[in-house]
Amino acid sequence: MKIAIMNCMNTSRSCVAAACFRAYAAGTNAFAAYGEDDRAQLAGFFPCGGCDMVIESDEGFAKKLDKLKTEGVQRVHISKCASGCKRVQDFVKAYEGKGIEVVLGTH
Ligand code: SF4
């Protein structure tokens, strides 16, 4: 299964996503659900777009959704740093509206 990770743009200013990649590589935490029969292929990693971004109408975010679909990404993990965001359910709605599953969390 192709997956992608969205992180918090505020956090990404000072984060190299090492814990997300470590958990992905080790198959731990939120990635423990994947097994040999359902391997997770990380196909994208990107920041949310920022607190000022209007999820429903932002051109850049819409392009990200389209690109995820084009790349065959079936599931987006919303990283630990973003899963506590007050707008997280708006992001979930946007992904699910495109037929992309969402998992809250990475490491
Ligand atoms: S919208 Fe949420 S996830 Fe994105 S930068 Fe702001 S706080 Fe972080």
88 close to ligand 1 (CB < 6 Angstrom): no
CA atoms within 13 A on the CB side of 81: 20
- Tell whether the torsion through CA atoms of 8, 106, 102 and 25 is positive or negative: positive
> pLDDT tens digits for 35-61?
888 899 999 999 999 999 999 999 999
Q: Whose CA is nearest to atom 3 of ligand 1?
A: 8
Q: Which two tokens stand for residue 24?
A: 């992905």
> pLDDT tens digits for 70-88?
999 999 999 999 998 999 9
If you ran DSSP here, which 8-state letter would residue 8 be given?
-
Question: Ligand 1 centroid vs 37 CA: distance in angstroms?
Answer: 33
Domains of the chain: 2-104 (3.40.50)
In this prediction, residue 78 carries a pLDDT of 98
